[in-house]
A and B are shown apart, each in its own frame.
Chain A
């Protein structure tokens, strides 16, 4: 079990306990003290292409983490940080809690919608697509979920936003880029012309 999940449902700080145990102290609680409450879910945010699953290291540009109640974000991402090629591609973990499994999943959906991360490809959109899938929702999925549902998942990844949003943004940017390179914009007037005019006006 992922430790943040256990921590969310039991309220025990596992890493702190581990350090105490390593220092020779006994555990601060007994099995019968533990009470599990509600449901928790964790999404691992990785720098990878959500379609090909290839790693996508690079520089993070915009980064805004989700906020709100019943949520934990363990992350080292910030704007300008370069995700290096040397380590594994995980950059953040998002954990949400709910009284029911459905509530935890809904909170995760909301958290992932709020997560802003640009500059590198991430699997956030893949998580969102999986969370929406009926098989995931009713709990009948297996470890072969991605393999078996790839054909269904892949087009869903692109359904979230329509082409015009991307095209308009790219077209306006391309327009501005080309306009700034166009020397006619600089209003350069030939010095010959300027002097010529001056002489004529003097006469």
Chain B
């Protein structure tokens, strides 16, 4: 199965082949040569909730969370978020690019938290750097500001709401000049 993956801004082509006793995984960092790894299935086993992975003489306890196109891999107290697409998704993504409005049309929560205060209302035109709202997580208040000049289209939350990471908080539209 062929994938394209991205880890910390580095792009890789990935190929996974399953045989009876082994995984054959090939990785190609962008602009470099393919590296081929053959991993015996006895070296990559799921135990309870996590994976015991023996790789190049080292033992890793790996936990993979996620689905579809984004996985977070934890091991040895390090973690990486990896975007991974297969052929079909690559197609969808390229189609989306054609018709979209372009990124940055909404303000999203970077972490789970609670909305303490909202400073704007729909229809407001705000300048870059203006406070939009205050969100609290773990006894810390975080002020979220406008990254550029925008017009507020819709406010999707109200004061006191608890939000998940990635939730859309405010929708923007471009300022008519």
Contact = CB atoms under 8 A, between A and B. Distances in A.
A127 to B, nearest CB: 9
B112 A168 contact: no
Sorting the interface of chain B by its residue count into under 10, 10 to 19, 20 to 34 or 35 or more gives 35 or more
Contact of A157 (B16, B78, B139, B142): B78
A124 B77 CA distance: 6
A56 B111 contact: yes
A166 B162 CA distance: 32
Given A164-B37, A169-B53, A158 B111 contact: no
A166 B138 contact: no
Contacts of A85: 112-114, 136-138, 162
A164 B55 contact: yes
Q: Is the interface of B mostly helix, strand, loop or mixed?
A: strand
Contacts of A56: 111
B174 interface: no
B65 interface: yes
Given A115-B77, A128-B77, A170 B37 contact: no
Interface of B: 1, 3, 5, 7-8, 10, 12, 14, 16, 18, 23, 25, 27, 29, 35, 37, 39, 44, 48-51, 53, 55, 60-68, 71, 73-80, 82, 84, 86, 110-114, 136-140, 142, 162
Given A128-B77, A163-B10, 11 more contacts: A54-B111, A55-B140, A61-B74, A113-B76, A118-B50, A119-B65, A157-B78, A164-B37, A165-B62, A167-B25, A167-B82
